[in-house]
Amino acid sequence: MEILSKVGGTINVIVLVLFICFVCFINSRDKMRLVQLNISICLLFGTVVILISDFSLHNQLLCKMMALSTQFLFLSAFVWKLILGINAFRGIVLLKYQQEDWMLKRPFVAVLSGYSIPLAIVSASGGLNWQKYGKDFLDGCWIQSDIYLLWFLIPITIILFLNCIFLFLIGKALFHNYIRTRKTKVNESQEFLIFLQLMMTMGITWVTAYFGIFFLWAKYIFVICFPLQGLMMFLFVVIISQENRSKLINFISTKYSSLTTKSSSHSEEKRDFTTRQRTNSSNLAVNKILLSSFVDETEIVSDEILEKNAQ
């Protein structure tokens, strides 16, 4: 289980880094990308903290800080998942994106909500239960008491419950849309992909963590599904989406062509420099030959003058 967690966490970090790079450097301004970017950032740093927390087990203060950081980052990720669920519900079910695109007009409100709510919860939990943070019974940096773990479980449970409702309504709307356009196979695959992407991104797979309390198989499912969050976001947003895939290809081709142009210009400059060196060398050799012939002729003339004077 521990090895599987480490491997899954490493895969999650790699895929999330790729996704963040795509959103930051390639993708255009989008309504949902702000939410997906912040979810990815929180999951990335949260996973990194979990992976490196084993090195802080012997330092009590550092282990407590790791536990607080883990709680804050994953709570932030879930608040952003709730924001994603609300926006997906408004955009797909209520169709209000065209009238009120508040995510683009007021992104500061979304960012403030996404981080201030978890910060308030973690500050209250850490202030009241500071002694309960640190090395737990599983040899990890986390909350030591099941009672105080409720500061983490209750907000996540509420968010998962709301997102399950949103996903059900979204799935219902997508199904009705598929029924209306079922003659088009493209729409069929598109509806399913949208639903699957939202299910993974909104954190619905975290429901298996609750069953993991009673069943061992559910723990393995949760450990396997955990890295799939970043992988699914990368696949659906970057690879499967034709528009974003075209952007990625254009970005890579542009960078490659610019590098090729620079290398070719550098090689041309080097070739010109070599040619100039060869020309200068040949000119120098010619000058040496001319100079030596001139010196020889001068010596001959001077010898003739000396002979005449001697006569």
What value does the mean pLDDT of the chain take?
Answer: 77
pTM higher than 0.85, yes or no?
A: no
Determine the average pLDDT of the residues in 148-152.
85
Domain boundary among 221, 240, 259: 240
**pLDDT at position 266, please?**
58
Q: Are residues 172 and 273 in the same domain?
A: no
Q: Are residues 83 and 222 in the same domain?
A: yes
Domain boundary among 179, 206, 240: 240
Q: Are residues 224 and 119 in the same domain?
A: yes
**pLDDT at position 88, please?**
87
pLDDT tens digits along 197-225: 888 888 888 888 888 777 777 778 887 87
Q: Are residues 78 and 163 in the same domain?
A: yes
Please indicate whether residue 142 or residue 272 has the higher confidence score (pLDDT): 142
Task: Tell me: pLDDT of 311 over 80.
Answer: no
DSSP annotation of 57 reads T
Domain boundary among 205, 240, 275: 240
Q: Are residues 217 and 262 in the same domain?
A: no
Determine the average pLDDT of the residues in 241-246.
74
Q: Are residues 251 and 236 in the same domain?
A: no
- Number of folded domains in the chain? 2
8 Å CB contact between 108 and 34: no
pLDDT grade for 71, boundaries at 50, 70 and 90: very high
pLDDT grade for 298, boundaries at 50, 70 and 90: very low
**pLDDT at position 300, please?**
46
Q: Are residues 236 and 252 in the same domain?
A: no
pLDDT grade for 156, boundaries at 50, 70 and 90: very high
Determine the average pLDDT of the residues in 56-64.
86
Burial of 134 (0-12, 13-18, 19+ CB in 10 A): buried
Q: Are residues 110 and 214 in the same domain?
A: yes
DSSP annotation of 140 reads S
Question: Pick from 180, 31, 44, 63: which is nearest to 133 by CA?
Answer: 63
Which residues on adjacent β-strands are paired with residue 308?
none
Alpha-carbon distance 254 to 267, whole Å? 20
Alpha-carbon distance 228 to 232, whole Å? 6
**pLDDT at position 256, please?**
73
pLDDT grade for 38, boundaries at 50, 70 and 90: very high
Alpha-carbon distance 283 to 142, whole Å? 78
Q: Are residues 216 and 288 in the same domain?
A: no
Q: Are residues 22 and 131 in the same domain?
A: yes
**pLDDT at position 286, please?**
46
DSSP annotation of 139 reads S
**pLDDT at position 30, please?**
62
The domain in which residue 53 lies consists of 2-240
Task: Tell me: pLDDT of 31 over 70.
Answer: no
Share of the chain above pLDDT 70, in %: 74
Q: Are residues 251 and 234 in the same domain?
A: no
pLDDT grade for 155, boundaries at 50, 70 and 90: very high
CATH number of 143's domain: 1.20.1070.10
Q: Are residues 56 and 202 in the same domain?
A: yes
Alpha-carbon distance 18 to 235, whole Å? 11
| Exposure string for 66-103, b = 16+ CB within 10 A, e = fewer | bbbbbbbbbbbbbbbbbbbbbbbbbbbeeeebeeeeeb
